[in-house]
Homo-oligomer: A and B are copies of this chain.
Amino acid sequence: MKKFVYSFNEGSKNMRELLGGKGANLAEMTRIGLPVPFGFTVTTEACNRYYEDEEELEEEIVDEICQKMEELENVIGKKFGDMEDPLLVSVRSGSVFSMPGMMDTILNLGLNDETAAALGSLTENMRFAYDSYQRFIQMYGEVVMGIPKSEFCAVFESRKKIAGIRFDVDLAAEHLIDIVNAYKDLVKRCSGKEFPQDPQVQLIEAIKAVFRSWNNERAVLYRKLNNIPDDLGTAVNVQSMVFGNMGETSCTGVAFTRNPATGKDELFGEFLINAQGEDVVAGTRTPEPIGQMARVFPDVYREFERIADVLEKHYKDMQDMEFTVENGKLYMLQTRTAKRTAVSAVKTAVDMAAEGLISREEAVSRIDTEQIDQLLHPKFDEGDEQCAEVIAEGLPASPGAASGRICFSVDEAERAAQNGQKTILVRQETSPEDLAGMVAAEGVLTVRGGMTSHAAVVARSIGKCCIAGCSQIVIDEEQKTLTIGGETFSEGDFLSMNGSKGLVYRGRIATVPPAFSEDFATILSWSDDIRTLKIRANADNPADAAQSVKFGAEGVGLCRTEHMFFAEDRVPAIRRMIMADTEEERREALSKLLPYQKADFCEMYRVMEDKPVTIRLLDPPLHEFLPQTEEETREVAEQTGIPRQRLLQICSDLAEFNPMLGHRGCRLAITYPEIAQMQVRAVMEAAIEVSREKGIDIVPEIMIPLVGIEEEFADVKKTVLDTAEKCKAEYDSQIDYLVGTMIEVPRAALTAGKIAREAEFFSFGTNDLTQMTFGLSRDDTGELIREYVEKGILAEDPFQTIDQEGVGSLMEMAVGAGRKVRPNIRLGICGEHGGDPRSIEFCHRIGLHYVSCSPFRIPVARIAAAQAAIKNRKEE
């Protein structure tokens, strides 16, 4: 018979899949002798079984839970529902991947009218007993019975008012008994049922409710954002309660073994005296820094320091721990790998490698490339920031810089983002429901909550800058304004915020590209030692090329020559070329473009020197260069002297129903070889001149786009060779050069063996290859792709990450066939996928030589390439 429930002494950290992260780590801590309140875990398999059985819990599983409950009673020496010394438990979710705050938790389970009274007598603390009971009813009512939290809050606030009491801590036992009764009435009113008094019923219903919370809206969204599969299910941990709210000798807290924001090697966290865990995370009270504990509970603090050290060494990674002190005794409630900022992740990895805790490979493997993006985002210009007016200060909860318009709601933040507007989401405190708004905003600013509040934790994990606990701010939700020191700001006004410093500024502040930290440079250099893929940049101009070299590019994988034509001083010449009636006129117009192109290429080569630069011949359909609006047409007619009617005629002649599949790419070079001749001449003359000027060997790579037929390539190659050889002869140069092609048409991949007979390199143009393989126009189907991802028709946007099954299989065919015919063929990718870590891993696996991506993605690509190499080596 299958086992669905494990006591903490039956598991270990290797059983995450079955026990969830929390359950596995509770078992592990138990195993290595740390003080963990005893309990058991209902497995993820039970959760999946629950869903298979149409949200019913099998008799067998219920029986197993009851058996483990008896075992728990024996270990603790208390009885569930006992009238004298009742056993109370917490019921917490715990899935394979940490989803903090996304699912439900119930504390103090086992309390009812009788056991609450018994607890009060036993502890001689009626206030504690009924505080625990009211918390339990509220949590149970909300989680199990679906009564909105706001209903409970309303009752709570009104009773507090009636009692004339301002702070929760001032509520006495009789007030809390009154609230308990009011809550029970509320439950009856809202659900039509009595609040259940049977602890067994409470337990089973609570477990089922936690299973259900796996599929609540925010959990589903979180999984989507974090690429966590929906079918893993959650485990449920049932653990004997310990109480941080038993008075001034009790506390509860959260701490990290290192600083999750900066990576500094120091205990970092917060605690609240006389409180239960939820109080810390929820941000409703602002807790004290963990260091304060050394003063308040010196012995407990030393013990906690020791345990933190044990855990970090045991897990060989930064830990995020929850603990409770009950009457001076320390209990560990949770440990897990800590979420951290990119800065912290980098520093921690480098430090741990230096400490000998992990290898360099492991250090590189640990970097979350998606998160690294944070380090590559612009920061405020330092001078501008110094001049900016600081209007408020809060906790530096998540680093980074953001400028945007004030907004107060998730909806507004999402709407603004859709319109391309940047916003700062300002909230009293955030809750899991706010996730979508936090994703949409540039930064998050909360009035309440500490460094481990929901806002802070989530902002760090999604790389948003965040300032928490900024208490100078007063929000008026009705008026949609906020006031700071008497000054009122409205929704839509600009604010700026520096999440690393916790400073809020008036208005907007300009940003600059980031500089790399020494630690990050170390990770990059270790990555370079490990990776085998070369990294090139997609750069169309010398400025981008220079930036890419700074970021570590080893060449340019795609230089799109058409972008050079769109400049204001050049577009007239290309228009004259397009509107030429004869080949002679076209040649005349092209001869005007030659000096521009040549100068551009000279600059590129001066920047890139002898690094490879792949220059793609003109690709877009010619109509893209023509005026698009009536006004433009009039202007162009005036400039060129070509009659407006004739201009309109040319525009209409060149218009296409499906320009994506139209007269573009190599097709242009076949119909108008003189265009390719001009471009090849510009490339070759520039390469020869800069080679001589700098005394280096430049080997131009000329790339023919949109080839689908071997003979297309052969035709254009002939044009390229003829022109290139002519240039060499004219300059008396022996310069070497390569002629290759984009593989971006499905047929090119299917016939790559033939194309490789002629082509010296392949560069996968995965943007177009994806469009044509799926039959999806990226310009037209953005909304559809979102719909597909939401409905699960697509696991992810294939324009973000290579679709390995379809597009990827074409790439593999092309690599295999190409290499068979020409073993030394150069293979690369220049689609936007070249900067996507999962795509990079795929490129490594199928044996490409390089990936090419936008300059700002280069550091990510360097690390991703190293991780791919490590992973591949491991798998072999």
Binding site for B on A (CB under 8 A): 656-663, 667, 670-671, 706, 708-709, 711-712, 715, 744-747, 750-751, 754, 768, 771-777, 779-781, 784, 787-788, 791-794, 803, 805-807, 809-810
CB pair A750–B810 under 8 Å, yes or no, is yes
Given contacts A746-B746, A787-B671, A794-B711, contact A781 B663 (CB under 8 A): yes
Point out the residue from B671, B751, B807 that lies within 8 Å of A784, measured CB to CB: B671
Contact partners of A810 in chain B: CB under 8 A:
746, 750
CB pair A779–B657 under 8 Å, yes or no, is yes
CB pair A784–B663 under 8 Å, yes or no, is yes
Tell me the smallest distance from the CB of A444 to a CB of chain B, in Å. Answer: 33
C-alpha spacing A663/B788, complex, angstroms? 12
Contact partners of A746 in chain B: CB under 8 A:
746, 772-773, 775, 806, 810
Tell me the smallest distance from the CB of A714 to a CB of chain B, in Å. Answer: 8
Given contacts A779-B657, A781-B663, A793-B712, contact A809 B750 (CB under 8 A): yes
C-alpha spacing A787/B791, complex, angstroms? 44
22 A-B pairs within 8 Å (CB atoms) are namely A656-B777, A657-B659, A657-B660, A657-B780, A658-B660, A658-B661, A661-B661, A661-B776, A661-B780, A662-B781, A670-B788, A670-B791, A671-B784, A708-B806, A715-B793, A746-B772, A746-B775, A747-B803, A747-B807, A750-B806, A751-B806, A772-B773
Contact partners of A663 in chain B: CB under 8 A:
780-781, 784
Question: Which of A754, A774, A784: most chain B CB closer than 10 A?
Answer: A774
C-alpha spacing A793/B755, complex, angstroms? 13
Tell me the smallest distance from the CB of A23 to a CB of chain B, in Å. Answer: 33
Contact partners of A661 in chain B: CB under 8 A:
658, 660-661, 771-772, 775-777, 780-781
Tell me the smallest distance from the CB of A230 to a CB of chain B, in Å. Answer: 14
Question: Which of A661, A774, A775: most chain B CB closer than 10 A?
Answer: A775
Closest to A663 in B: B784
Contact partners of A809 in chain B: CB under 8 A:
750
Closest to A795 in B: B711
C-alpha spacing A658/B621, complex, angstroms? 13
CB pair A751–B711 under 8 Å, yes or no, is no
Given contacts A670-B787, A793-B670, contact A805 B660 (CB under 8 A): no
CB pair A794–B656 under 8 Å, yes or no, is no
Closest to A771 in B: B661
C-alpha spacing A855/B779, complex, angstroms? 38
C-alpha spacing A780/B671, complex, angstroms? 14
C-alpha spacing A844/B754, complex, angstroms? 26
Contact partners of A708 in chain B: CB under 8 A:
773-776, 806
C-alpha spacing A750/B769, complex, angstroms? 13
Closest to A745 in B: B775
Contact partners of A658 in chain B: CB under 8 A:
658-661, 777, 779-780
Contact partners of A706 in chain B: CB under 8 A:
775
Point out the residue from B667, B747, B777, B792 that lies within 8 Å of A662, measured CB to CB: B777
C-alpha spacing A744/B746, complex, angstroms? 13
Given contacts A658-B660, A663-B784, A709-B793, contact A806 B775 (CB under 8 A): no
Contact partners of A662 in chain B: CB under 8 A:
777, 780-781
C-alpha spacing A711/B789, complex, angstroms? 11
CB pair B781–A709 under 8 Å, yes or no, is no
C-alpha spacing A671/B776, complex, angstroms? 15
Closest to A621 in B: B780
Closest to A655 in B: B780
Contact partners of A709 in chain B: CB under 8 A:
774, 788, 793-794
Contact partners of A671 in chain B: CB under 8 A:
784, 787
Contact partners of A784 in chain B: CB under 8 A:
663, 667, 671
Given contacts A659-B657, A779-B658, contact A791 B750 (CB under 8 A): no
CB pair A791–B659 under 8 Å, yes or no, is no
Tell me the smallest distance from the CB of A854 to a CB of chain B, in Å. Answer: 23
Point out the residue from B754, B775, B777 that lies within 8 Å of A747, measured CB to CB: B775
CB pair A777–B715 under 8 Å, yes or no, is no
C-alpha spacing A780/B661, complex, angstroms? 8
Tell me the smallest distance from the CB of A800 to a CB of chain B, in Å. Answer: 16
Question: Which of A712, A773, A807: most chain B CB closer than 10 A?
Answer: A773
Point out the residue from B656, B781, B805 that lies within 8 Å of A751, measured CB to CB: B805
Given contacts A659-B658, A670-B787, contact A747 B806 (CB under 8 A): yes
Tell me the smallest distance from the CB of A75 to a CB of chain B, in Å. Answer: 48
Contact partners of A773 in chain B: CB under 8 A:
708, 745-747, 750, 772
Ranked 9 nearest A-B pairs via Cβ = A661-B777, A658-B777, A747-B806, A745-B775, A711-B793, A662-B780, A656-B780, A746-B746, A658-B660
Closest to A754 in B: B805
Closest to A715 in B: B793
Contact partners of A711 in chain B: CB under 8 A:
792-794
Contact partners of A780 in chain B: CB under 8 A:
656-659, 661-663
C-alpha spacing A658/B773, complex, angstroms? 14
Tell me the smallest distance from the CB of A224 to a CB of chain B, in Å. Answer: 16
Contact partners of A754 in chain B: CB under 8 A:
805
C-alpha spacing A780/B776, complex, angstroms? 18
- In the complex, besides A662-B781, A711-B792, A747-B803, 15 extra interface pairs with C-beta distance below 8 angstroms are A657-B780, A658-B661, A660-B660, A662-B777, A663-B780, A670-B787, A670-B793, A671-B784, A708-B773, A709-B794, A711-B793, A711-B794, A715-B791, A746-B810, A747-B773
C-alpha spacing A780/B663, complex, angstroms? 7
Tell me the smallest distance from the CB of A478 to a CB of chain B, in Å. Answer: 31
Closest to A660 in B: B658
